[in-house]
Structure 1
Amino acid sequence: MDLRHLRYFLLLADELHFTRAAEKIGIRQPPLSMLIRKLEDAVGAQLFHRRSRGVELTEAGERLKTAAVAVLADLQSAVTDARRIAEGQSGRLRVGFAGATYFHPAIPAAIRAYRAAHPDVVLSPEQSNTPALLAGLHEKRLDIAFIRPPVSESDRLKIRPFVEEDMVIAVPAGHALDGTEPLPLSEAAGETFILFPRAIGPGLYDTIISACSAAGFSPRLGQEASQIASIVPLVAAGFGVSVIPRSVSFIQSKGVVYRSLAGETPRAPIAFACRADETSALVAGFAAAIQVARRQI
């Protein structure tokens, strides 16, 4: 049994007349009669009562009609879904976010713009660190990830810049460095610095250490934060000071003051990465859309 037989059967079931049904199909009446006979043989039941002025559906024919309508509707829906997935208009994207990148306003704004244009695409977010997200891309557990460079682009990954932000210093409220004016980083030389483990963000970690070195000192490291976002409560608790991407300062805490840095400010870039051999229209469409949105922000 093929789909053509079901379509011809449904047309005859609607017209209840071989000649009219054959005319709508664009064939002669005898071939249509032969096709219906073959369908009845395949089903093992008579589907129509032949009358002098047309045909009537048998009980078996009525049941097959109901099922055939559902089968063809499901098939059309599947074809439509497959086409939309191939065009990048439907499906699921697994998106990773590293090192509090989601605090930067450009990222939620770009994602909102993408979701507005692609309402049938489901985004599954995952927050982690850059090395873990890169592993997720390699292992195909993620489709695309916002990461903290620098990361070497290899033949397995495609990495594109997204945004870049300056860094600020976070100090406990009431601390000697509390204030509103830009602060030379050298004035924090005697302070204890709270950083995250280098393994989870080597690029950003090295940027902070290099900025301190350029300011003439090597930072005294104290309590380690499990991730960038968890630095803020440690500063509020008085464990020390820290240099963080400006977007992390959107975390409001009564116990923390954020001050801009004077002079040449260290930068915190954000890039997005995907597999170099990625062929998914979903990933290509997402990458293109967020780049357009970024330029409009």
Structure 2
Amino acid sequence: MQNIDEIFHVGRTPYADPFLVSTLLSVQLALFPRLKVELISRFSMNLVDDLLAGVIDLAIANDPPESPLLTCVQIADLPFYIAMSKRERLAQYPSVSLDQMGGRHWVLFDRQLHPPVYDAIIHAASERGIRPLSIQHVTAPEEAFPFVADGSAVAFVVKAGALLMARSGVTVRPLNESSLRLKTCLVCRADDNSKIASEFVRAYMRKMPDRKKHQQLPLPISA
């Protein structure tokens, strides 16, 4: 048993499901009773760089790249959500597809936040001839709210963003596209043999058997 404070540095994407983060913060290790988790928030691609540089010990990241230098355990598989005004015609449906979204102004996260995921959305739309009237880029869901609330645009958001957006006349629907889902993983360095890291990951995963019931947001999602 350890008798000194141990600091465990964990990075998480700001777009992670809040349930996953709260579960992480609830982890306690019998072998390390004085373990302190230091949580930082970074975009997923930056988290991978921080892991490889040894700045953090563990990360909750969305769709991390495949690499022999990383060990990844998937902990969530969620749809994107489309935030829209309650007055939007699409609000009558329980879910929406890309095919229904043509001819509208889109608000989409900036490509630099996650290039592979951004490119997947644009490629899927292009392949099917789905053309938005325009695309406005944001770095946080709050930036999209005014455009959605006044009915001038629809916005792509993840679960955390959907929870923030569903208020004051804005409603949210899941995007029903099997090829466009956000996979969240617990990521560590493949060469990390520390006892703390292995014990922490095991303890975290033991808390996750019922995670599926926390993943899909109840419908309708509106304020």
Q: TM-score, normalised by structure 2?
A: 0.78
The answer to whether residue 161 in structure 2 is matched with residue 248 in structure 1 is: yes
5+ long unaligned stretches in structure 1? 1-78, 83-89
What SS is found at the alignment partner of 2:118?
helix
User: Equivalent residue for 2:37?
Assistant: 123
- Higher RCO structure, 1 or 2 (CA under 8 Å, sep 6+): 2
| Aligned partner (choices 248, 255, 267) of residue 181 of structure 2 | 267
What SS is found at the alignment partner of 1:194?
strand
| 1:201-239 deviation line (CA, Å, top 9, x unaligned) | 123313322443465414454321114564445533555
Q: CA RMSD in A?
A: 2.8
5+ long unaligned stretches in structure 2? 212-223
Alpha-carbon shift at residue 171 of structure 1 (Å)? 1.1
| Aligned partner (choices 216, 224, 228) of residue 137 of structure 2 | 224
Measured in 2, the distance between the counterparts of 1:166 and 1:216 equals 21
What SS is found at the alignment partner of 1:164?
strand
| Aligned partner (choices 10, 15, 22) of residue 95 of structure 1 | 10
What SS is found at the alignment partner of 2:89?
coil
Contact 1:96–1:145 (Cα < 8 Å) also in 2: yes
Measured in 2, the distance between the counterparts of 1:285 and 1:220 equals 50
| Aligned partner (choices 199, 211, 215) of residue 112 of structure 2 | 199
Measured in 2, the distance between the counterparts of 1:80 and 1:168 equals 44
What SS is found at the alignment partner of 1:273?
strand
Measured in 2, the distance between the counterparts of 1:208 and 1:163 equals 19
Measured in 1, the distance between the counterparts of 2:137 and 2:117 equals 15
Measured in 2, the distance between the counterparts of 1:282 and 1:233 equals 44
Q: Percent identity?
A: 22
User: Equivalent residue for 1:159?
Assistant: 72
Alpha-carbon shift at residue 158 of structure 1 (Å)? 2.1
Contact 1:150–1:203 (Cα < 8 Å) also in 2: no
What SS is found at the alignment partner of 1:295?
coil
Alpha-carbon shift at residue 164 of structure 1 (Å)? 0.7
Question: For the structure 1 residues 292 and 135, does the alpha-carbon distance in structure 2 shift closer, same or farther, using more than 3 Å as the test?
Answer: same
Question: For the structure 1 residues 261 and 273, does the alpha-carbon distance in structure 2 shift closer, same or farther, using more than 3 Å as the test?
Answer: closer
As a proportion of its length, which structure holds more strand?
2
The answer to whether residue 216 in structure 2 is matched with residue 294 in structure 1 is: no
Q: TM-score, normalised by structure 1?
A: 0.61
Contact 1:222–1:239 (Cα < 8 Å) also in 2: no
| Aligned partner (choices 186, 191, 194) of residue 277 of structure 1 | 191
Q: Aligned letter for 1:278?
A: D
Q: Aligned letter for 1:281?
A: K
Question: For the structure 1 residues 290 and 170, does the alpha-carbon distance in structure 2 shift closer, same or farther, using more than 3 Å as the test?
Answer: same
| Aligned partner (choices 150, 163, 169) of residue 82 of structure 2 | 169
Measured in 2, the distance between the counterparts of 1:233 and 1:146 equals 29
Measured in 2, the distance between the counterparts of 1:194 and 1:181 equals 20
Alpha-carbon shift at residue 95 of structure 1 (Å)? 1.0
User: Equivalent residue for 2:3?
Assistant: 81
Alpha-carbon shift at residue 183 of structure 1 (Å)? 2.5
